[in-house]
A and B are shown apart, each in its own frame.
Chain A
Amino acid sequence: MTQKVIVGMASCGIAAGAQESYEALKAKLAQVDADAELTIAGCVGLCFIEPIVEVISSDGKKWTYGEVTVERAEQIVDQHLIGGEPITEWTFEEGEYRERVEAFMSKQVRIVMRNCGQINPESIDEYIKRDGYKAIEKAVTSMTRQQVIQEISDSGLRGRGGAGFPTGRKWQFAYDVPNDTKYVICNADEGDPGAFMNRTVLESDPHAMLEGMMIAGYAIGSSQGYIYARAEYPLAIKRLEIALAQSRQRGFLGDNIFGSDFSFDIEIRQGAGAFVCGEETALMASIEGKRGMPRLRPPYPAVSGLFGKPTIINNVNTLTNIAWIILNGAEKYSQYGTEGSKGTKVFSLAGKIARGGSVEVPMGTTLHEVVHDIGGGSVYGKPIKAVQMGGPSGGCVPASMFDTRVDYEELTKTGAIVGSGGMVIMDEDTCMVDIARFFLNFTQDESCGKCTYCRIGTRRMLEILTRICNGEGQMEDIDTLEGLAAKIKNTALCALGGTAPNPVLTTLHYFRDEYIAHVKEAKCPAKVCKPLLTYSIDLEACTGCGLCKRACPVNAISGEKKQPHEIDPDLCTKCGSCYEVCAFDAVIVK
Chain B
Amino acid sequence: MNEQTVTGVDLSVVDQMVERYGTEPASAVPILLGLQETFGYLPMEALRYVTEKTDTTPDQVYGVATFYGQFRMTPVGEHMVRVCHGTACHVRGAVNISQTLEEVLGLEKGQDTTSDNKYTVEKVACLGCCSLSPVIMIDDKVYGRLDRKKVRKIFKRLEREEAKK
Q: Which residues of A contact B (CB under 8 A)?
A: 11-12, 14-16, 47-48, 50, 190-196, 199, 230-234, 269-275, 286-292, 348-352, 356-357, 388, 391, 422, 424, 426, 430, 435, 438-439, 442, 446, 448, 553, 575-577, 580
Q: A269-B30, A275-B125, A292-B68 are in contact. Are A348 and B87 (CB under 8 A)?
A: no
Interchain CB contact (< 8 A) of A191 among B27, B126, B130, B148: B126
Residue of B at shortest CB range from A17? B144
* A424 adjacent to B131 (CB under 8 Å): no
The stretch of B7-15, B111-119, B132-140 in contact with A is B132-140
Chain A residues with CB under 8 Å of B92's CB are: 351-352
Within B44-86, the residues touching A (CB, 8 Å) are 56, 60, 63-64, 67-71, 85-86
Residue of A at shortest CB range from B37? A231
Chain A residues with CB under 8 Å of B33's CB are: 231, 270, 272
Docked CA distance A219–B109 (Å): 55
Chain A residues with CB under 8 Å of B85's CB are: 193
Q: A194-B87, A270-B30, A350-B133 are in contact. Are A12 and B144 (CB under 8 A)?
A: yes
Interchain CB contact (< 8 A) of A194 among B32, B88, B99, B140: B88
* A196 adjacent to B129 (CB under 8 Å): yes
Within B17-47, the residues touching A (CB, 8 Å) are 24-30, 32-33
5 additional contacts, CB 8 Å, given A193-B85, A272-B69? A232-B126, A232-B127, A272-B32, A289-B29, A350-B88
Interface footprint category on B: 35 or more
Interchain CB contact (< 8 A) of A442 among B125, B128, B147: B125
Chain B residues with CB under 8 Å of A234's CB are: 140
* A575 adjacent to B127 (CB under 8 Å): no
Q: A11-B142, A194-B87, A577-B148 are in contact. Are A286 and B29 (CB under 8 A)?
A: yes
Q: Which 4 pairs of residues, A with B, have the shortest CB-CB distance?
A: A273-B69, A194-B87, A356-B131, A193-B86
Nearest CB of A to B64, in Å: 6
* B133 adjacent to A232 (CB under 8 Å): no
* A11 adjacent to B27 (CB under 8 Å): no
* B96 adjacent to A351 (CB under 8 Å): no
Docked CA distance A422–B89 (Å): 13
Nearest CB of A to B126, in Å: 4
Interchain CB contact (< 8 A) of A11 among B32, B90, B128, B145: B128
* A349 adjacent to B87 (CB under 8 Å): no
Cβ contacts A to B, 7 pairs, < 8 Å: A269-B29, A289-B28, A351-B130, A357-B131, A424-B91, A439-B87, A553-B99
Residue of B at shortest CB range from A200? B128
Q: A16-B145, A232-B124, A438-B87 are in contact. Are A349 and B131 (CB under 8 A)?
A: yes
Docked CA distance A576–B92 (Å): 13
Residue of A at shortest CB range from B135? A15
Q: A15-B129, A232-B128, A290-B64 are in contact. Are A391 and B69 (CB under 8 A)?
A: no
Chain B residues with CB under 8 Å of A15's CB are: 129, 132, 135, 142-144
Q: A269-B29, A273-B69 are in contact. Are A233 and B128 (CB under 8 A)?
A: yes
Q: A15-B135, A272-B32, A291-B63 are in contact. Are A350 and B128 (CB under 8 A)?
A: no
Docked CA distance A321–B60 (Å): 38
Residue of A at shortest CB range from B26? A289
Docked CA distance A30–B93 (Å): 41
Chain A residues with CB under 8 Å of B67's CB are: 274, 291-292, 448
Docked CA distance A287–B29 (Å): 8
Chain A residues with CB under 8 Å of B143's CB are: 15
Nearest CB of B to A198, in Å: 8
Nearest CB of B to A392, in Å: 9
* A14 adjacent to B71 (CB under 8 Å): no
Chain B residues with CB under 8 Å of A193's CB are: 85-88, 90, 125-126
Docked CA distance A287–B24 (Å): 12
* B87 adjacent to A388 (CB under 8 Å): yes
Nearest CB of A to B25, in Å: 5
* A47 adjacent to B70 (CB under 8 Å): no
Chain B residues with CB under 8 Å of A356's CB are: 88, 130-132
Residue of B at shortest CB range from A355? B131
Chain B residues with CB under 8 Å of A271's CB are: 68, 70
Docked CA distance A14–B140 (Å): 11
Chain A residues with CB under 8 Å of B63's CB are: 290-291
